[in-house]
Structure 1
């Protein structure tokens, strides 16, 4: 397999992941009324992604230690 084949496969996989994420996001938006917990969490993460990532990491560390 040469680099062009590998690059084409990576692009294909990347597009598949984007399409899946788009479908999941659309399904979540259609299925959830505003004001719900996940809607609030999604909005917070969009406004401040790095602090949300830090909180998720710390919660993961706490759960992993138990």
Structure 2
């Protein structure tokens, strides 16, 4: 029997390579909001940031709360 009660993994990159899905999801959210797409390298650069910081990094001029909400879903 183990002394551990819980084992937590950093899911992305440890158990599953989800970078492609993250890049695709950001692109889909941008399309819904009528925003220009961002290249994969730029989106990869925001992985790990909280969503408000990620949006601000990718779309610094966007402050519309409706747009921010689309990215949070």
| TM-score, structure 1 as length reference | 0.28
Instruction: Compare the two structures and name the one with the higher helix fraction.
Output: 1
Larger Rg: 1
| TM-score, structure 2 as length reference | 0.26
Higher RCO (CA 8 Å, separation ≥ 6 residues): 2
